Amino acid sequence: MLRLCLLWAGLSACLLAATSAKAEKLILSTEYYPPYNVRDANGQPSGVYWDQLKIILERTGTQYEATVMPWARAMKLAETAPMHCVFAAARTAERENRFKWVSPIHTDRNVLVARKDHVLKIATLQDAKAYTIGTQRNDYTEALLRSMNFPRIDVSADFNNTLSKLIAGRIDMMPMSESALKNLPQHELTEVITFSKQRLGMACNKSVPDSLIERMQKVLDDLISDGTQRRIYEKYGLVISE
């Protein structure tokens, strides 16, 4: 009887450990947003954000799956589906209590960008309201444009669609990271005016355990304090704003 009890106790412990490990498996989603997020040869996330997250996940022993998809879908999953996270999302006041956060993965200056051959008369953001601004659905820049009462907003599914519209002349400007602009053809596009400055991070569904969020945040804090985060950005030739 004692041996049976010990065997049952051992099996119960194994089942509990397996259940706990399964419960902490994260499903991570992001969009294709060069140069920060790109796809590797297997279609998996790669780039400056993912380099940081891989270290965080490995050091915390977290199981995960990762995929690239349209931004609006990724945000929706992170808000509604258990154990889902999206990266890198702007940590705005409106989003703060909708997710659990691991941040900052990036501190970003966002600029309004136009074609170089498109002459615009803009000295302030108020002047920019006379033009059509394109952005991505559910991107924080869409919410910011609406909160600032920009009257002419064109919304696309993802960054590439918006960029294609800008280059084709179907919109006048679009907001993007200064590093994203730096990595696009310089003969075509130009910065017009600073739009915003934001801290970005991994936004997770409320079901993700606080203990896991805390462990991941501790690793990210270490990456920032020991200079690893900055070195990752420098490796890609990207800017991380102070």
Q: Give all domains of the chain, ordered by start, each with its CATH number.
A: 26-107+199-235 (3.40.190.10), 109-198 (3.40.190.10)
Residue type, 96: E
Given pLDDT bands bounded at 50, 70 and 90, which one contains residue 21? very low
pLDDT in tens, 34-82: 878 888 888 889 999 999 999 999 999 999 999 999 999 999 999 999 9
Q: Assess whether pLDDT exceeds 90 at residue 189.
A: yes
* Cα distance between residue 115 and residue 47, in whole Å: 26
* Cα distance between residue 144 and residue 140, in whole Å: 6
Q: Give, to the nearest 10 degrees, the angle between helix 228-235 and helix 48-59.
A: 140
Q: Assess whether pLDDT exceeds 80 at residue 147.
A: yes
pLDDT in tens, 82-141: 999 999 999 998 999 999 999 999 988 899 999 999 989 999 999 999 999 999 998 989
End-to-end CA distance of the chain: 65
Q: Which two tokens stand for residue 175?
A: 């907001």
pLDDT in tens, 154-172: 999 999 999 999 999 999 9
Cis peptide before 34 (omega within 30 of 0): no
Name beta bridge partners: 109: 197
pLDDT (0 to 100) of residue 144: 94
How far CA 50 is from CA of 19, 157, 234, in Å, comes to 27, 22, 15
